Amino acid sequence: MGPEQQFAIPAAVLGGFESGDDTTREWVRLLPSVARELLQRWDLRPEGTIRAGDAGILLPVRRADGTPAALKLQPPKPETSAAILGLIAWNGRGTVRLLDSDAGLGGMLLERLHGDRSLDAVEDDDAVRVVGGLFARLHSVPAPEGLPDLGAIVAGMRAGLLAALRVLDSDDRSRLERWARQVAEMNAEPGDRLLHWDLHYGNVLSADREPWLAIDPEPLVGHPGFDLWPALDSGWSTDDSVSDAPRIVRRRFDILTEMLALDRHHAAAWTAARLLQNTLWDIEDGRHVISASAKTVDDALASLSA
């Protein structure tokens, strides 16, 4: 029986993306036929349960030679093309290996990792050191042409700053303005390294080829300090039982900056840039306050970024 007869995407998976933008809704409409086309083209046999994430879906498959793999499908947006460019450049060095791709259809054929084991389950000092080792490898690869750069990202932040300031209270406005000043100071040297942009603990999975590999990159060219925030924020920000978050943030920051030989002031300032970016996104989504986790990270590093 061919893949076209035995494969279907559950309606519940498709429904999770129907609130997206026009491009995402059109992608949802075409997704079953796109999946069948790529299964046939790359001679793949589906096996296992489809996983849905924020950006797309992941389908466990087996290749014609019997090796396990994973078919990732997401809307054919610039972010998808950037992910493909980054994975090609890294070529499996610290990341999941890209086996084939079709940017126009939003398809990536990836080596299969152990999706049920991430750094979320690892003791914290060990986990952050794994992230530091991965960052060192990822940042050492020359950035390919065609990726977004941090200078353009910062320009976009400046464009949204005034609207954000109008909806915040005075304390939050002061914090946001301070972040903006720090970003302006750093933006003279936005950096030229190949960044992951989303390397939190859940985006590092156990593998057969190596103990741990990064997944789901959103590649960007910029300063390594701009890559730290997801690891600093991992775990505690969604766990109400954690009472020592500032200590956790400072400990992780110390380990990462030491491993990557980063200037601590610059790294803290670029982390503030991530907090600014996240807050601007939150305000675009209708929030009128800076998140508690952003304030915790900021307060933990404030003496370094001042």
Mind listing the pLDDT tens digit for each residue in 134-149?
999 999 999 999 999 9
| Arithmetic mean of pLDDT, 229-252 | 92
**What end-to-end distance do the CA atoms of the chain give, in Å?**
64
pLDDT, residue 13, reads 77
pLDDT, residue 3, reads 43
Q: How many domains does the chain have?
A: 2
Exactly one of 102, 198, 216, 227 is catalytic; name it. Answer: 198
Cβ neighbours, 10 Å, residue 166: 9
**54 labelled catalytic:** no
Mean predicted lDDT score pLDDT of the chain? 92
CB 252 within 8 A of CB 294: no
Q: How many helices (H) and strands (E) does the chain have?
A: 11, 11
pLDDT, residue 6, reads 54
Q: Which pair of tokens denotes residue 46? A: 């589906």
| pTM, two decimal places | 0.93
Mind listing the pLDDT tens digit for each residue in 7-53?
677 777 777 777 777 888 888 888 989 999 999 999 999 998 898 87
- β-bridge mates for residue 222, sequence order: 193
- Selection from 200, 48, 54 nearest residue 112 by Cα: 48
The model's confidence at residue 1, banded by pLDDT at 50, 70 and 90, is: very low
| CATH, residue 78 | 3.30.200.20
Question: Are 266 and 169 members of one domain?
Answer: yes
Question: Are 176 and 297 members of one domain?
Answer: yes
Question: Are 101 and 132 members of one domain?
Answer: no
Question: Are 284 and 195 members of one domain?
Answer: yes
CB 85 within 8 A of CB 147: yes
| Arithmetic mean of pLDDT, 78-91 | 97
CB 197 within 8 A of CB 97: no
Range of the domain at 65: 3-112
Judged by average pLDDT, the poorest of 7-16, 69-78, 270-279 is 7-16
Cα–Cα distance for residue pair 130/247, rounded to 1 Å: 19
Question: Are 93 and 130 members of one domain?
Answer: no
pLDDT, residue 7, reads 66
Question: Are 188 and 266 members of one domain?
Answer: yes
pLDDT, residue 12, reads 75
Question: Are 185 and 99 members of one domain?
Answer: no
CB 164 within 8 A of CB 279: yes
| CATH, residue 199 | 3.90.1200.10
